[in-house]
Structure 1
Amino acid sequence: MRKANKRITDFTLLVELLNRCHVGRLGTVGRDGWPMVKPLNFAWYEGRIYFHCALEGEKLDEIRHEERVCFEADLPIAYVKGAPENPCRAEYLYRSVIIRGRARLVTEPAEKVLALDALMKKYEPGVPFAPYREEKLAITGIVRIDVEEMVGKEELGKGELREKALALLAGGGSLPVVLE
């Protein structure tokens, strides 16, 4: 990373970011050599990224072709308006994480259930759900990304602006906001 002062080195912050972000982006390379980025829902569980998908399709075709993938998630915090006389003073405050790893289709039913439980807890917290029926497990694809490298980056501004950004993050409210 070019600017070391923007790097997030606190692993706890990276995990918090992954748990807070609702959309991640999977980067793959297809047989035609073209990169592809796909937004998806995901869960971080025991040091891995999990997502569900169909058992056939572009994502799995690309993963079967090349298991090395990139995964990105970002949390927009605030847009800071520039002054009318100097619009270049506008800023975008955020935290992000980029993961490089290897993606694999999960076939073990017990691991599929763990992944689905993690997804349900993230996207439907506090909602009880019944055990997954075997026939549904059989037709649901679960992909696991085994993390090999994880790098976080943030832009929180300076001084008073940084304090506002940190307060917004701690407040747990709806993000992003617009700051004057």
Structure 2
Amino acid sequence: MQYRMKTHMLTEVAIKELLVRTAMGSLATLNDDGTPYVIPVHYLYYNGSIYVHGLPKGQKIGNIKANPCVCMTVYEMDSLRLDPEGKPCDTNTKYQSVILSGKASLVEDIEHKREVLIEIVKKYTPQLAQKALPENMVNGTAVIQIQILDITGKYYE
């Protein structure tokens, strides 16, 4: 285990708070040839799972259908901590980060999908949360659920 994971581990509460407030994460899937495919995603942490939405076809969806194992990282950089003596190699960063791994699957149940999409609207565009979602948009949007199997978080102040 890394030294900082021993001394700067985020609590479970702090991990959940970071997942709720952060807007973007990086989702990693595996291509058919075993190379990683990492993309920035908007996401929702909801009922203990991560949800991602998007087009129903594409490399991300194809990769998940072929291999549901995924990894995701979410992070916030607060500021740089410059060394008082001006040493460039002793500059550090105040941050919080979470890395999780899990199994991804497409949400097929239309009511579950609608519920998640409504929560995504509440997170990103709360001013539109009272508007109904058009049926064709709910039906035509892919929603990926990531069952979290392992999660860690760390920080530096």
Q: TM-score, normalised by structure 2?
A: 0.92
**Per-residue deviation, residues 13-53 of structure 1 (Å, max 9, x unmatched):** 11100111111110111111111111000010000000111
State the percentage of identical aligned residues: 28
Quick one: which amino acid aligns to residue 2 of structure 1?
Q
Q: Does 1:88 align with 2:89?
A: yes
Can you list the C-alpha shifts for 1:94-144, whole angstroms capped at 9, x where unaligned? 100011100001111111112112211211234433221221111111000
Corresponding residue SS for 1:93: strand
Residues 150-173 of structure 1 show CA distances to partners (whole Å, capped at 9, x for unaligned) of 1111111xxxxxxxxxxxxxxxxx
Runs of 5+ consecutive residues of structure 2 not aligned to the other structure: none
Cα distance in 1 between the residues matched to 2:120 and 2:86: 47
**Correspondence for 1:30:** 31
- Indicate the residue corresponding to 2:111 in structure 1: 110
Aligned residue for 2:41?
40
Distance, in Å, in 2 between the alignment partners of 1:52 and 1:119 is 9
Q: Give the deviation of 1:84 after TM superposition.
A: 6.4
**Partners in 1 of 2:69 and 2:147 — Cα distance?**
10
Unmatched runs of 5 consecutive residues or more in structure 1? 157-180
Check whether the contact 2:121–2:129 (CA below 8 A) recurs between aligned residues.
no
> Which letter maps to 2:2?
R
User: Per the alignment, in what secondary structure is the counterpart of residue 32 of structure 1?
Assistant: coil
Contact 1:40–1:51 at 8 Å: present in 2 too?
A: yes
Residue 154 of structure 1 aligns with an amino acid whose one-letter code is Y
Report the structure number with the largest CA radius of gyration.
1
For residues 86 and 41 of structure 2, the distance between their equivalents in structure 1, rounded to whole angstroms, comes to: 40
- Of residues 133-142 and 36-45 in structure 1, the stretch that sits farther from structure 2 once superposed is 133-142
- 1:99 equivalent to 2:100? Answer yes
Inter-partner Cα distance in structure 1 for 2:156 and 2:101: 21
CA contact (8 A) 1:25 1:73 kept: yes
**Number of residue pairs matched?**
155
> What code does the residue aligned with 2:9 have?
R
The ranges of structure 1 where at least 4 consecutive aligned residues each deviate by more than 6 angstroms after the TM superposition are none
